[in-house]
Structure 1
Amino acid sequence: MHKVTAITTTAVVLGLGLTACSADSSETNAQDNDVIRFATLPLTDDPTTETPVEAIQELLEEETGYRVEVTDVPNYSAVIEAIRAGHEDIGMMSGFPSALAVNTGEVDALVAWPGDGEPVSNCIVLDDSPLQDLNDITADTTIAFADPASSSGYFMPIHMLDQAGLTMDEDYTVLLSGGHDRSFMALESGQADVACTSNIFIDMAGQDNPMFPFDEGEIRSLGQSISMPVSLAILGNQDMSEEKRDALIEALPKVYSQENADRLGVYAEGIPEGVDPIIEPEAEIFQPFVDIAAVADVDISDLG
């Protein structure tokens, strides 16, 4: 599951910052206590992967006794604002956008799954590259990153490079490609010397996957990032009734479990095996994301 969440943070940081104080919860759908409204979005960058809406709906209804309405939306910031405004009760997302939401002070984390300790990101080069390790990177080295709001394609590798003593825009040249697959295209064409991406892609070598165009032996790693402190979190509207909140807190760990993996598909792959969820986690659990983002000169500590 950790491999999928590693590539999922596509929340628009600046966009959320601009709308951070715009939510008006005076008219909320969350006050309708007969329905649980769940805002979902794809958990991968693969446009062919569908959200298992019917399975989510059925499982939540079975466990809570509430009628469930699922709305599939295109991006994280839309989910966060919908929950803040009370138009949706809950939403699921990976670590960084969860940290963005919780740090507004207007969204609660109902359930969170810690990371599994595995590296999130990998910075790779072509096998014939003269770069042998991170120490060989210079100011003339161009490094491709997927997106400035991506966990595995930006924040985590920026942090990894910083830990190696390399400062962005000083010790290497940044190329924002716009997507993981585009970073690989830049590496393949010579536009970039290094591509920093999610670990999920490395295992795709030699599988003729259009997302990762390399065969085994064509690329190698210069270094890997640390793990994510939080893998996934389910966020909730603060104005929902206590009855609905209690029902969700009891039901969500049961619904999002390996027992339902076949029905939930990619959503089940997003929850690490053998890791118990944290119920109603404190905001402090998300502080590492604030610290990691600060390395990239992004302040997510006070978006409220």
Structure 2
Amino acid sequence: MRTRAASALALLALSTLALTSCAGSRDSPRADDPSAPITFAATPVGDDPSGENPVQAFAALLSEATGREVEIVDVPDYTAVVEALRNHHVDVGIMSGFPSALAVSTGEVDAIMAWPGNGEPVSTCLVLDDSRLRTLADISPATTVAFADPASSSGYFMPLAMLQESGLTKDTDYTAMFSGGHDMSLTALREGQVDVACTSTIFPKRAGTNDPSFPFEKGETRSLGESMSMPVSVAVLADQNLPAETRDLILEALPQVFVEANAKRLGTMMEATQGTAPVSMPGTSMFQPFVDTAAIAGVDISDLK
């Protein structure tokens, strides 16, 4: 069964309408004004309500490093980030590897910095410890599997490829649903609304810590399997009309932002970089393994061209 990117395209279209009403065009004089805010498209990020929001922390740290105001533009998901960049509504966005490959594949968005993967599995498919499912082979058409978002690397694309390689085809060998986020997949699993929740390997490490992003104690969940690693963990994408001076300023600032001293403030955003050294101005070849793996999962990213 071949999964096209129709759902992603629908989200892109909806995002265009929303963003057109709340953001200016790059045709305005603001684009070349060095005193103008740097606009950053941000998706919802789970955080500890008692601590600093990672997105707010990133904006503050980037502002400090660049000497420019940083304005956060909230968008619902990764596909909305891509559309905001393609339509020149924001300057930059940060996304995980697969949606970054989607964006780069359009030829209308630039990747200005990327963090390679660390070679470790990035996704896991979890069940409750008392589940009758013991291995991936136990999954059947009656099994409901929760994914985070159609454009999520660790919450959809990578586990989808893992299941496909195990001989399990989406909507044929199991019933798939999109929860809207990693936290919502895990909540659905806890509440018994789904049998399996596929998510990032980051989250199970938080078991027993009272972290709201992983509402389980140690031993309450089990993994049925883990995905392969990703060639790119995170990428910073930019509007192609971004002035060179602003682009260079951001490139100089980012390595100052993503340092160990800021790890606690950046939370999940820092964890997502997987501790690797960033690559400035990565070429399209860095994202090619995603295109190759997409074929395994039956996802045609050329639909966004």
Name the residue aligned to 2:304.
303
Name the residue aligned to 2:127.
125
The number of residue pairs the alignment matches comes to 287
* 1:292 CA displacement: 4.1
Q: 1:157 aligned to 2:159?
A: yes
Contact 1:60 1:255 (C-alpha < 8 Å) held by counterparts: no
Query: CA-to-partner distance for each residue in 1:12-44, whole Å, 9 max, x for gaps?
Result: 722455379999754474333444613142562
Q: 1:223 aligned to 2:229?
A: no
Contact 2:145 2:197 (C-alpha < 8 Å) held by counterparts: yes
Distance across 2 between alignment mates of 1:178 and 1:71: 21
* 1:112 CA displacement: 0.8
Using the size of structure 2 for normalisation, the TM-score is 0.79
3-state secondary structure, aligned to 1:108: strand
Distance across 2 between alignment mates of 1:143 and 1:19: 26
Distance across 2 between alignment mates of 1:225 and 1:17: 27
Distance across 2 between alignment mates of 1:252 and 1:112: 11
Contact 2:62 2:70 (C-alpha < 8 Å) held by counterparts: no
Contact 1:82 1:88 (C-alpha < 8 Å) held by counterparts: yes
Contact 2:62 2:253 (C-alpha < 8 Å) held by counterparts: no
Task: From the superposition, tell whether residues 34 and 154 of structure 1 become closer, same or farther in structure 2 (CA, over 3 Å).
Answer: same
Name the residue aligned to 2:8.
13
Query: CA-to-partner distance for each residue in 1:126-181, whole Å, 9 max, x for gaps?
Result: 22323221122222322222333332222221111111111111222223334334
For structure 1, which segment, 105-114 or 227-236, has the greater mean C-alpha deviation from structure 2 after superposition? 227-236
3-state secondary structure, aligned to 1:122: strand
Report the RMSD for the aligned CA atoms in angstroms. 3.1
The one-letter code of the counterpart of 2:42 is: L
Contact 1:17 1:303 (C-alpha < 8 Å) held by counterparts: no
3-state secondary structure, aligned to 1:245: helix
Distance across 1 between alignment mates of 2:272 and 2:137: 33
Name the residue aligned to 1:59.
65
Name the residue aligned to 1:109.
111
Query: CA-to-partner distance for each residue in 1:95-141, whole Å, 9 max, x for gaps?
Result: 23322322221211111111112211111222232322112222232
Using the size of structure 1 for normalisation, the TM-score is 0.79
* 1:280 CA displacement: 0.8
3-state secondary structure, aligned to 2:216: coil
Contact 2:30 2:36 (C-alpha < 8 Å) held by counterparts: no
Contact 1:30 1:89 (C-alpha < 8 Å) held by counterparts: no
Distance across 2 between alignment mates of 1:191 and 1:242: 49
Query: CA-to-partner distance for each residue in 1:221-270, whole Å, 9 max, x for gaps?
Result: 11011122211111222223333333333333333333544665554344
Task: From the superposition, tell whether residues 30 and 296 of structure 1 become closer, same or farther in structure 2 (CA, over 3 Å).
Answer: farther
3-state secondary structure, aligned to 1:168: coil
Instruction: Work out the percentage of aligned pairs sharing the same amino acid.
Output: 51
Task: From the superposition, tell whether residues 269 and 132 of structure 1 become closer, same or farther in structure 2 (CA, over 3 Å).
Answer: closer
Contact 1:124 1:221 (C-alpha < 8 Å) held by counterparts: yes
Name the residue aligned to 1:284.
285
Gaps of 5+ in 1: 1-11, 62-66
Task: From the superposition, tell whether residues 186 and 105 of structure 1 become closer, same or farther in structure 2 (CA, over 3 Å).
Answer: same
Distance across 2 between alignment mates of 1:80 and 1:286: 16
3-state secondary structure, aligned to 1:203: helix
Contact 2:9 2:304 (C-alpha < 8 Å) held by counterparts: no
For structure 1, which segment, 101-110 or 128-137, has the greater mean C-alpha deviation from structure 2 after superposition? 128-137
3-state secondary structure, aligned to 1:143: strand
Distance across 2 between alignment mates of 1:132 and 1:165: 16
Contact 1:117 1:227 (C-alpha < 8 Å) held by counterparts: yes
Q: How does 1:88-99 map to 2 (within 5 A)?
A: 88-99=90-101
The one-letter code of the counterpart of 2:291 is: V
For structure 1, which segment, 79-88 or 134-143, has the greater mean C-alpha deviation from structure 2 after superposition? 79-88
